[in-house]
Amino acid sequence: MVAGGYPIRASWLRPARDGAIIALVAIAAAHAFDVLTIGVDAHSYWSVDPADPYGRTRPGEFGAFFYAPVAAQALAPFGALPWPWFATLWTLLLGAALIWQAGLWTAFALLLVPVFAEIAAGNIHLLLGAAVLLGFRWPAAWAFVLLTKITPGVGLLWFAVRREWRSLGIAVGATAALAGVSYVFAPALWSEWAALLLVAAGAEQWPFTVAVPLAVRLPLAAALVAWGARTDRRWTVPVASTIALPVLWVNGLAMLVAVLPLVADRVGATPASRWLTREPARTPAPAPTPTPPPAPA
């Protein structure tokens, strides 16, 4: 059995996982040959103009880009690729993030509407889930969350409640460092981004979203992660971060795949859970220098 008494053998899950991997590679290949017209969010990342990322951004419109200027600047080199190539690489990246988190459960996860929609749209929710997991050992990974969707950063309360100040400082410091470098090169974009977020916050609910306002969801998310931090339940962090997404699209629920590695005792190990439980390498302490015997009197 896999774990936790589930009547599913790993030998049954492996062929399904392998089939899902083949399906993900087939989707990527279809992008490479330009026979797919999906990937609306991925297209926004590919086509963003780092010098003017918000000029055509309106809530709910094609090509909208709502992330921090540093994200647009980081994506700029990829805009030189032909769109089919970028879509191919992006699909492979999302597929790798899914497999890393879900392991043998990849096929089941891919059959879920939010996950399949996420692969089709090419958003970053699977990457956000991976960043949350990475953040337990590499807190700097939280910079990716804070400089894109922002509000899922409520998960940082995990460190604050547990008084893990070093990890919290690394997460905030890495974010500030990246933002600072970006600001030096394009200070005006940061004020444009702030103004855009205010407009987006007042926009009406869009189709295919969970129609619960962020003002309601954010305190619930904070309470959940605070409770999880006090009771040592890591799975509350990706759940709370999902609840706190600025707009909870249906495909945003794909972020919940990150729960699987944190309940490995129930569903079995995944590549992410094995990485999380691996002890960090330590430099061996030098052998003690033997103390010479005292000289005879």
Per-residue b or e along 73-100, where b marks 16 or more CB atoms closer than 10 Å to that residue's CB: bbbeeeeeeeebebbbbbbbbbbbbbbb
- Cα Dmax for the chain: 92
pLDDT for position 210: 79
Tokens of 70: 């540093």
* 291 in any annotated domain: no
Residues 6+ apart with CB under 8 A from 293: none
pLDDT of residue 166: 98
Which pTM does this prediction carry?
A: 0.90
Domain count, the chain: 1
* Per-residue pLDDT at 8: 66
For residue 117, the model assigns a pLDDT of: 96
Judged by phi (left if over 0) then psi (alpha if -120 to 50, else beta), residue 58 lies in beta
In a domain, 82, yes or no: yes
Residue 193: inside a domain, yes or no? no
DSSP secondary structure letter of residue 52: S
1 belongs to a structural domain: no
Tokens of 215: 């003002």
Give the list of residues 6+ apart from residue 63 with CB closer than 8 angstroms, or none.
Answer: 43, 44, 47, 56, 57
Q: Is 280 contained in some domain?
A: no
Cβ neighbors of 252 (< 8 A, separation 6 or more) are 114, 123, 125, 210, 242, 245
pLDDT the model gives residue 204? 62
Helix ranges (DSSP H) in the chain: 10-32, 40-47, 69-75, 83-102, 106-111, 113-121, 125-137, 142-146, 157-161, 165-185, 187-201, 214-231, 236-243, 264-267, 271-277
DSSP for residue 283: P
Q: Cα angle at 91 between 115 and 176, to 5 degrees?
A: 85
pLDDT recorded at residue 198:
83
d(CA 9, CA 13): 7
Q: Would residue 294 count as lying in a domain?
A: no
Neighbours of 65 (CB within 10 A): 21
pLDDT digits (tens, 9 = 90+) for 198-251: 877 665 666 667 778 899 999 999 999 999 999 999 999 999 999 999 989 999
**Residue given tokens 């969707």 in the structure block:** 149
User: Nearest CA to 255 among 246, 266, 265?
Assistant: 246
Stretches where the chain sits below pLDDT 70 are 1-9, 57-63, 201-208, 279-297
146 belongs to a structural domain? yes
CA nearest 65: which of 123, 138, 141, 1?
123
Q: Which residues constitute the domain of residue 142? A: 10-188+206-273
Name the DSSP letter for residue 293: P
Query: Do the beta carbons of residue 39 and residue 87 sit within 8 Å?
Result: yes
Tokens for 237? Answer: 């962090």
Res 289: pLDDT: 58
Answer yes or no: is 240 within a domain: yes
Distance CA 176, CA 132 (A): 18
Neighbours of 157 (CB within 10 A): 21
